[in-house]
Amino acid sequence: MAAGTDRARDTREAILDAAERLFAEHGVGAVSNRQIGLAAGQGNNFAVGYHFGSKADLVRAIVRRYTAETEQRRLSMLAAIGDSPDVRAWISCLVRPVTGHLDSLGAPTWRARCLAQVNTVPALREIVIGESMATPSMRRTLEGMFSLLPDLPEEVRAERGDMCRLLVVHTLAEREPALYGDGPAARTSWEPTAVGLIDALTGLWLAPVSTRDRNPAR
């Protein structure tokens, strides 16, 4: 029984690894379950469906593997900052668990590019957002940050939240291949990449809000 369980777990991990790489390289829509199975060393054309179900279920499994790793890192950071009055500290809790996780994977990695490709598909993007926002550490991070931005209008908060997500997802996706010799790199490791993102996001969240009518249709 244990051997069978280990084999199933190893097969699932191999499928997830193959899906991440193929989605990163070709996009989600261009990759079939059969291609993923073959890349994972599975001769059975139905291996992906057997272990994960639909493509949406496969994407959900990829995201959950990612959030399980970042969750522990973010919880540790939250414990360290306590009730910090510094917005930058809370933004660091958004960024550093992700860059730290990517750094721990070694080289090469495809995870950041995979998630960027998934985000281009509206239905799958909702899975990523839903799974990421559901974690206790993410909820606590956002609560702490927003408590320091009480005058930020709700619609501006939502708008900047979208900007924040896009900036992080696509910056990491572009930096990922560059860090491993596949393209020009403005920064040479995940650590300065984290610093640059934290600087940019701090400016984004602390930027003044225009007093003009934000709904010109009225």
pLDDT in tens, 73-93: 999 999 999 999 999 999 999
Residue 27: which region, alpha, beta or left (left: phi > 0; alpha: psi -120 to 50)?
left
166 and 100, same structural domain? yes
Check: CB of residue 18 under 8 Å from CB of residue 39: yes
10 and 31, same structural domain? yes
- pTM, full prediction: 0.87
pLDDT of 4: 64
176 and 119, same structural domain? yes
Check: CB of residue 109 under 8 Å from CB of residue 99: no
Closest CA to 127 of 31, 56, 27: 56
86 and 114, same structural domain? yes
Residue 216 in any domain: the answer is no
DSSP the chain: -HHHHHHHHHHHHHHHHHHHHHHHHH-STT--HHHHHHHTT---TTHHHHHH-SHHHHHHHHHHHHHHHHHHHHHHHHHHHTT-S-HHHHHHHHHHHHHHHHHHT-SS--HHHHHHHHTTSHHHHHHHHHHHHTSHHHHHHHHHHHHT-TTS-HHHHHHHHHHHHHHHHHHHHHHHHHHTTSS--SSSSHHHHHHHHHHHHHHHHHSPPP-S-S-TT-
197 and 101, same structural domain? yes
48 and 67, same structural domain? no
Number of domains the chain contains = 2
pLDDT of 44: 78
68 and 26, same structural domain? no
Kindly give the parts of the chain with pLDDT less than 50: 186-187, 218
* Residue 48, domain extent: 1-53
Alpha-carbon dihedral 146, 152, 155, 157, rounded to 10 degrees: -40
137 and 77, same structural domain? yes
194 and 96, same structural domain? yes
User: Which CATH number goes with the domain that contains 20?
Assistant: 1.10.10
pLDDT of 183: 54
pLDDT of 213: 59
pLDDT of 186: 46
Residue 218 in any domain: the answer is no
Tokens of 215: 């709904």
